[in-house]
Structure 1
Amino acid sequence: MPKTYELKLGPLTRQLPLIPLNDKVTIASFVLLGDAQLTHYAAETLAKQIAGVDFDYIVTIESKGIPLAQELSWLTNHDRYIVLRKSVKDYMVDPITMPVSSITTSADQELVLDGTDAKRISGKRVMIVDDVISSGGSILTAHQLLDKVGAKTIKQLAILAEGDAADRDDIHFLGKLPLF
């Protein structure tokens, strides 16, 4: 098996290291953090796809979706975006938590929404944005958490859909990422 996977996204090419998660599954490790060029390209492309869609906030999941949410918010003229954290922080007011499972993390996790942000997005139209959607566990949990606080999820966006996620019709993505 090769040691890298070549990802082509529009005019951009990246060599992604192949990382075994266990005896049966190896992933091509896509890390958006620090890649300003790819972040900007992906955000511009997604912004074009959602042009004309009425929404109030972009919501992302800590941490690799943050640069995409930042850039996409800027390009769509939204002053603020919401980050679902993976642990409760001391600064949070009345945090709301929900357990989550993810393909890339072996430990138990939770998604946490600051109560201040929960009030801000209650009754609002939101888009969930992430770098990669794979098993869909994180996105599903994010959707459930947002439903719990009264936000209406109108779209789910990602740069890449990994494995079977590429066959889903409820997410919008720019490229496919195989599992090995």
Structure 2
Amino acid sequence: MNDIELIRRTIRTVSDWPEPGVQFRDITPLLQDPRTFRVLIDQFVHRYFDARPDAIAGLDARGFIIGSVLAYELNVGFVPIRKKGKLPFTTVAESYELEYGSATVEMHTDAVKAGDRVLLIDDLIATGGTMMAGKRLLEKLGATVIEGAAIVDLPELGGSDRLRASGLALFTLVDFGGH
């Protein structure tokens, strides 16, 4: 079995969570097994080793796990993009629409500087709203998002198409039909 197939098979599908009809793609089994976790991180390290971004920005909360380890491996800084009200310093905010309402993410105003090349990472792309908000936040501060990355893409929800249409290059390891 190749590395991508190992990653795909390790992701757990939880039916009808958080609501009936949803097939939740749970990455926590990837994190629990040291070998599989290393294989996962190595996929991203190998992709970005030569491109060497100035920073990795991780989206709350599972993007923190992958992003901080990747930043460590690449010897670059890590920028957390958090849900509103969780950061203690001066922040910049971006709101976005969810299927049933809206949400806001924030980051510190000194997290990146103009001209920084930043990789934006999360565990999963569904509708693309969170990643798009993260991209806009980074761009408000003058950074360039070199790519959006995730472990899982759920293409039927249209997020990856919307993100690409906005000009964001995307990299994902596996995709799952349905949602």
Compute the TM-score of the two structures, normalised by the length of structure 2: 0.79
C-alpha spacing 1:100/1:41, structure 2 compared with 1 (3 Å): farther
Structure 1 distance, partners of 2:19, 2:101, is 14
Partner SS state of residue 59, structure 1? strand
Aligned pairs for 1:1-180 (under 5 A) are 9-12=4-7, 13-14=9-10, 15-20=12-17, 25-32=21-28, 35-36=31-32, 37=34, 38-78=36-76, 80-89=77-86, 91-92=88-89, 94-102=90-98, 106-117=100-111, 120-164=112-156, 168=161, 170-180=169-179
Are the counterparts in 2 of residues 111 and 141 from structure 1 also a CA contact under 8 Å?
yes
Are the counterparts in 1 of residues 117 and 143 from structure 2 also a CA contact under 8 Å?
yes
1:17-64 deviation line (CA, Å, top 9, x unaligned): 1135556x5122324488243443222111112231131000011101
Higher RCO, 1 or 2 (CA under 8 Å, sep at least 6)? Answer: 1
Structure 2 distance, partners of 1:121, 1:10, is 38
Compute the TM-score of the two structures, normalised by the length of structure 1: 0.79
AA aligned to 1:140 is M
Partner SS state of residue 119, structure 2? strand
Are the counterparts in 2 of residues 98 and 145 from structure 1 also a CA contact under 8 Å?
yes
Are the counterparts in 2 of residues 32 and 64 from structure 1 also a CA contact under 8 Å?
no
Q: Percent identity?
A: 15
More helix as a share of residues: 2
Structure 1 distance, partners of 2:74, 2:139, is 23
More strand as a share of residues: 1
How far the C-alpha of 1:139 sits from its partner, in A, is 0.9
1:114-147 deviation line (CA, Å, top 9, x unaligned): 1231xx3332000001100111111111111111
Gapped regions of structure 1 (runs ≥ 5) = 1-7
Q: CA RMSD in A?
A: 2.6
Structure 2 distance, partners of 1:133, 1:71, is 19
Are the counterparts in 2 of residues 99 and 141 from structure 1 also a CA contact under 8 Å?
yes
